[in-house]
Amino acid sequence: MKTKILIVEDDRNISELIRLYLEKESFEVAQAEDGRQGVELFSSFAPDLILLDLMLPGLDGWGVCREIRKTSSVPIIMVTAKDETFDKVMGLEMGADDYIAKPFDMKEVIARIHAVLRRTAKDQASDGKILEYDKLVIDMNAYQVTVDGKRVEMPPKEIELLHFLASHPNRVFTRNQLLDDVWGFEYFGDSRTVDVHIKRLREKVDGVSDKWLLKTVWSVGYKFEVVDQ
């Protein structure tokens, strides 16, 4: 799956130049020519990073950043002709992740993009939302599970159960504990619900790696067993 980048820039020549370079780097690109369109595309395109010009018609870059930060922490790199310290500080305080002043070198833009994406991925992994084991990636930001490099379709509750167990490697949980922690205290369903979800998970991940497995601990419950950490 390609990393998606949204360019919000009213100068078509600059926008097209950036698009060409980004597509050469195998990014998927969407373009907006004003702030309002940028906010709309953010919702429909769901980018992994935004290149945001400050001096936009209608809703300016500050306003776009403010709107996006109400609901998302997606990385934002501000791109502008202004190069004053006040603008940089204001942009960073509003939630921008980096700042590039025009005129710029496209090699620098590409390098900044890769650096911000690496930093963001590291931050997300460190907060436990992304778990990685041999041939397995559980990404709770995207509610996505990748097995041996391929995305595997799973209902949200299966992903949540797998993530919970994998977050506590080698720890055994009873069915009732899993119901409380994954389904919630308000859930009054049968504990066999856990058995059914474990069975479905095994159909999708069993045998993928010899370094971890979903293991049944008879008369107790289940655990995510890591054989070789």
Looking up residue 189, the CATH number of its domain turns out to be 1.10.10.10
Q: How many CB atoms lie within 10 A of CB 190?
A: 10
Express each pLDDT in 181-223 by its tens digit: 888 755 556 678 889 999 999 999 999 999 999 999 998 999 9
Residue finishing a domain among 126, 143, 171:
126
Buried-exposed string 15-34: b where 16+ CB fall within 10 A, e elsewhere: beebbebbeeeebebbbbbb
The reported pLDDT for the residue numbered 200 is: 93
The reported pLDDT for the residue numbered 30 is: 96
Is pLDDT at 127 greater than 80 in this prediction? no
User: What is d(CA 46, CA 62) in angstroms, rounded to the nearest whole number?
Assistant: 19
Residue finishing a domain among 126, 151, 170:
126
Shared domain for 9 and 98, answered yes or no, is yes
Residue 46 tokens, joined:
């769901």
Express each pLDDT in 56-97 by its tens digit: 998 998 899 988 888 787 889 988 876 555 555 666 666 778
Residue finishing a domain among 126, 157, 172:
126
Shared domain for 163 and 110, answered yes or no, is no
Q: Which residues pair with 4 in a beta bridge?
A: 28
Give 183-190's long-range contacts (Cβ < 8 A, gap of 24+): 183/157
Shared domain for 24 and 106, answered yes or no, is yes
The reported pLDDT for the residue numbered 126 is: 58
Residue 39 tokens, joined:
């906010």
Residue 49 tokens, joined:
């990073």
The reported pLDDT for the residue numbered 140 is: 85
**Exposed / middle / buried, residue 163 (Cβ in 10 Å: 0-12, 13-18, 19+):** buried
Average confidence score pLDDT of the chain: 86
Q: Which carries the bigger pLDDT value, residue 8 or residue 126?
A: 8
**SS3 call for 79:** strand
Is pLDDT at 229 greater than 60 in this prediction? no
* Structural domain count of the chain: 2
Phi, psi of 70 (to 5 degrees): -65, -30
Which residue segment(s) compose the domain that 194 sits in?
A: 130-226
The reported pLDDT for the residue numbered 192 is: 81
Shared domain for 11 and 117, answered yes or no, is yes
With a pLDDT cut of 90, the percent of the chain lying above it is: 47
Shared domain for 81 and 175, answered yes or no, is no
Shared domain for 77 and 134, answered yes or no, is no
The reported pLDDT for the residue numbered 130 is: 84
Shared domain for 191 and 110, answered yes or no, is no
**Measured CA distances, 46 to 5, 21, 184 (Å):** 9, 20, 29
Shared domain for 122 and 190, answered yes or no, is no
